[in-house]
Amino acid sequence: MFSRRSSSAQTSREKTEPMGLIRGFKTNLAGLRLGLTTPKLMMLGLVRLVAILAATVIGAALALAYHDALMATLWQRPESLWWLWLWYLGSWLLALVLVGLSAVAGYLVSQILFSVWLMDLMSRLTEQLTTGREVPPPPMGKLRWFGFLLAQEVPRAVLPILIGLVLLIFGWLTPLGPILAVLSSLAAAVFMAWDSTDLVFARRMEPFRLRLGRLSGNIGFHLGFGLWFLIPGLNLLFLSFAPVGGTLFALEADEEKGE
């Protein structure tokens, strides 16, 4: 389990780790380990994983169902063998893009439906396990609290991901396409990490300006935390348990301030 002693040790080592990137990388891994070794956290994380996978698979199936019609609209299959290979290449790339977009859409849909609620539960449980107490959310009805959680997703996840997709698509129309693809992926990783590290501070109703400032002051940490989200295969697993590591980051910040 992630203890206060290990938290203090990581804080002291941060001085030798450039911009906290390695610390963020380790914290997300520590959160996954804690999640997989704690039955309640593991159950919640697996439910979130299934939700993301289900939304992604359904979205990919719907997208690929329209692949042939969309390809025919964009480019009719040529008769010449000289152009046919290029048409097949374009068809394959279109399928890849559709699957990628459906994966992003599936993640956002699962967040909006109920994953954001699971994230809050995982964060509160991690706080209880690590500190023996929990700072409860403000008194309000469940429906209003769920609406508050959804509202936090707009600046933390929805808008950054959608803006990144737009930049990625238009970037490929310019010579800077490969560079913009890398930069937009890294930016998405940072904001998806913030979506988890901000859970505790949002639950405490800290002003958004203060929370955004915490992100800008820990870009290296969030980049390291989010690098796991860029690894195919592992990304969905780390995304599912990221609220655990994000809560550990928040509790470390409390400890550094002496709270």
Tell me, what's the pLDDT at 187?
86
Structure tokens at 113: 């439906």
Q: Is residue 145 part of a domain?
A: yes
Q: Is residue 7 part of a domain?
A: no
User: Please, what is the average pLDDT of the chain?
Assistant: 81
Q: Is residue 32 part of a domain?
A: yes
| 77-106: pLDDT as tens digits | 887 777 888 888 888 887 877 777 777 777
Structure tokens at 243: 């609220």
CA distance linking residue 110 with residue 239, whole number of Å: 12
Q: Is residue 9 part of a domain?
A: no
Tally of domains in the chain: 1
* Residue-number span of the structural domain to which 29 is assigned: 18-256
Tell me, what's the pLDDT at 259?
54
Q: Is residue 11 part of a domain?
A: no
Structure tokens at 32: 């996954």
Entry pTM? 0.76
CA distance linking residue 120 with residue 242, whole number of Å: 11
CA distance linking residue 173 with residue 179, whole number of Å: 12
Q: Is residue 26 part of a domain?
A: yes
DSSP structure class, residue 118: H
Q: Is residue 3 part of a domain?
A: no
Q: Is residue 61 part of a domain?
A: yes
